[in-house]
Amino acid sequence: MSRFKLKFTNTNSNRLTIFFLVLMIIVGITGYSIIEGYRIIDALFMTIITISTVGFREIQPLSLTGKIFTVFLIISSFGIFAYALTTLTKYLMDGVFHNYFKLKKMNKRIQKANQHVIICGYGRNGKQAAKESKSYGFEVLIIEQKESLIKQIMEDTNLMFIQGDATQEDVQSEAGIEKATALITTLPNDADNLFVVLSAREINPDLKIISRASDDNADKKLLRAGATNIIMSDKLGGQRMAKLVAQPDVVEFLDHVMVQEKNNVRLEEISFANIGAEFKQKTIRELKVRNISGVNIVGVRKADGTYVLNPDADYIIYCKDKLFALGTIEQINKLNQIIKEIKD
């Protein structure tokens, strides 16, 4: 069950309504006690049945002054009581109960989640990571502690969340880290990111882990702890600024391919692992990748981690190679489908 706790919203309007309602009860108790000589409990009873217009009979017949006071109490408190009751009912129906069922439904989604992306922290980097992950069709689960950010996450019905400390193993297990495809930790503190990486790697040895780092020396520690990749946002930002000065068109072109939303052109990684034997150790020319799908092979990542940029048509593709294909979404999907059929 999500750790998010529903709380009453202390708006100025709600506080003012409650203040006037309590004030009218105090005035009523005081008035009946002084005018009619009622005991406190009797004065409270008379005040409640009067301002709520329930209409039970009086504790005892009222004096002329008591009747005038009762008329005054009814007129002055009726609107306040009705507004307070309406506000409370609306809050319960639209707020507490609505959020309760919403959270219950989301918790079922979390339990069923598989091959999802877990994002630790919903700051600026976390929000962007969530947005991009959704655009690629991944289910996204956020782990965040701050209640103000949790309320922002709740506005997006496509996002799942857990309110808790991402460095704790029980929180990561609750997020289904054993079944996740990747974890992105964007916490502002390098030590916290290190704890997240250590515990996540221990729980799921095959998990892809992307970690943010701020300090220049933190990247090595995070890699030793088990991070797959390290992102130093400050360093990347500085490099990008310099490149915009030296090679603005190149940067804008890469942004157009990789970053821009609703872009029909995509650069994607294509794996040839477990491909059929008849297609092993074939050249790009022999595979006829461009003729079949229309994509361009712009790079290859070999099994030893080295890269071949702009391979020629006679380059031999091995089963553990990964191709970087540039094409439209339709062309990429067609190539993936062809490869899937070959594997099957």
* 67-94 average pLDDT score: 75
The Cα 201–Cα 222 span in angstroms is 11
Q: CB count, 10 Å around CB of 109?
A: 12
Of 28-37, 105-114, 311-320, the least confident: 311-320
d(CA 159, CA 45): 49
What CATH code is assigned to 12-109? 1.10.287.70
Q: What is the pLDDT of residues 133-186, one digit of tens each?
A: 998 889 999 999 998 898 899 888 889 999 999 999 999 999 999 999 999 999
Tokens of 57: 């009979």
DSSP for 236-294 reads: HHHHHHHHHHH-HHHHHHHHHHHT-TT-SEEEEEEE-TT--GGGTTEEHHHHTHHHHH-
pLDDT, the chain, mean: 83
List, by residue range, all CATH 3.30.70.1450 domains of the chain: 264-343
Q: Where in the chain is the domain with CATH 1.10.287.70?
A: 12-109
The b/e string for 129-141 (b: 16+ C-beta within 10 A; e otherwise) is bbeebeeeebbbb
CATH number assigned to the domain covering 264-343: 3.30.70.1450
pLDDT at res. 260: 59
Instruction: Using a cut of 0.85, tell me whether the model's pTM lies above it.
Output: no
Question: What local confidence, expressed as pLDDT, does residue 210 receive?
Answer: 96
- Provide, rounded to the nearest whole percent, the portion of the chain with pLDDT above 70: 86
Predicted confidence (pLDDT) per residue in 5-23, tens digit: 444 444 566 677 778 778 8
pLDDT of residue 125: 92
pLDDT(261) > 70: no
Q: Is the pLDDT of residue 245 over 50?
A: yes
Q: Which tens digit of pLDDT belongs to each residue from 278-331?
A: 566 788 888 777 788 888 888 998 888 899 998 988 888 887 788 888 888 888
The per-residue pLDDT for 334 is: 83
Which pLDDT does position 11 carry in this prediction?
A: 54
Is the per-residue pLDDT at 344 higher than 90? no
Q: For the ranges 43-47, 99-103, 145-149, 163-167, which has the lowest average pLDDT?
A: 99-103
Q: Mean pLDDT across the stretch 176-199?
A: 95
Q: How confident is the model at residue 207 (pLDDT cuts 50, 70, 90)?
A: very high
| 48 has a pLDDT exceeding 90 | no
Query: What average pLDDT score do residues 259-264 get?
Result: 61
What's the pLDDT score for residue 268? 83
Query: Which residue do the tokens 């009762």 mark?
Result: 70
Task: Give the pLDDT mean for 259-275.
Answer: 70
Q: Does domain 113-231 have CATH number 3.40.50.720?
A: yes
User: Per mean pLDDT, which range of 20-29, 199-208, 255-264, 319-328 is the poorest?
Assistant: 255-264
pLDDT value, residue 204: 94
Residue 225: which pLDDT band, with cuts at 50, 70 and 90? very high
The predicted pLDDT at position 8 comes to 44
Tokens 């130093």: give the residue.
232
Mean pLDDT of 107-115: 90
Nearest to 271 by CA among 300, 240, 236, 242: 300
